Amino acid sequence: MGGQLSLWQQSFPPKPQWGVNDIPDLTGKVILVTGKTGIGKETVKHLLAHNAKVYLAARSAQRANEAIAELKNETGKQAIFLQLDLSDISAVRKSAQEFLSKESQLHVLINNAGVMVPPKEQVTVQTYDMQFGTNVIGNYLSSSGHWLLTELLLPALFAATDASPSHEKARIVTGLDFDPLADGPTRTRYGELELYNKSKFGNVDVACELARRYGDKIVSTSLNPGNIRTELQRSMPGWQSTIVNRIMYPPSKGALTQLYCVTAPSAVDANGKFFIPWALASRTRPL
């Protein structure tokens, strides 16, 4: 019953009490957002509008640059493209190296990009399940996806903390049976949606572990952005996406919670917490 009530509350949240007009001036802040469409694009828009220096990390240079051009028309500010393929360990390492060659500090990392219910036969370059490898980490020893990206960028996150007033910390938000889910019988016995759910729980697990390890230096939170109408549903069957889209909100709503987590002064004390729509602290299932 508790799980059903929580699902209902997160699917039909109350009117938000915090909005983009509450975002403070972000001049001097360096922020990296993964994902070029939907929630990611909407997030970048509001960060640019409040004077942050924003890197938009995505796999497709063409589509990312199209988004950057559109955002410049809307905000008058220019985001910076960073090539990033979360499904390939070597590509993630290359992206992190490129970022660190340009910036010594990273004030905010928003792990926003992801995939949802692609065909089960799709795997990452290193043959992890595509959803788990992209959305989360592969595993802690030979990590891929967002865990590896975060791990490689920790020096810049720590440097931002060291250079800030004592009350400020760099922030990370990650928008999940912890199995490496390498391709094989263990992975293929799960359905696409179950694999997606595992990847989401892995995101929460990673965020909590970052908070536990580095809570004196960074603020790490995880969240459910809400039922948001984006390209994330592109792999769903047509009949299913039609039904789902009827109860979904626009990306502008989906960006609210992660914008709160990374910009609101009150969220600096939210280390390890899980947030639900719209910008409300909640609880996760025990890890």
pLDDT digits (tens, 9 = 90+) for 2-53: 456 666 677 788 899 999 999 999 999 999 999 888 999 999 999 999 999 9
CATH superfamily of domain region 20-282: NAD(P)-binding Rossmann-like Domain (3.40.50.720)
Respond yes or no: is residue 200 known to be catalytic: yes
Please pick, among 41, 77, 169, 200, the residue that the annotation labels catalytic.
200
Q: What residues does each domain of the chain span?
A: 20-282
Each residue of 161-197: pLDDT tens digit? Answer: 775 543 467 787 765 343 445 555 555 666 666 666 6
* Average pLDDT of the residues of the chain: 79
Please pick, among 128, 196, 249, 260, the residue that the annotation labels catalytic.
196
Residue 33 corresponds to which tokens in the numbers above? 């957002």
d(CA 80, CA 54): 6
Respond yes or no: is residue 217 known to be catalytic: no
Looking at residue 269, the DSSP 8-state letter turns out to be: G
Query: Residues near 95 by Cβ (< 8 Å), separated by ≥ 6?
Result: 57, 82, 83, 84, 85, 149
Whole-model pTM over 0.95: no
**Distance (Å) of CA 36 to CA 5, 58, 81, 142, 143:** 32, 6, 10, 26, 23
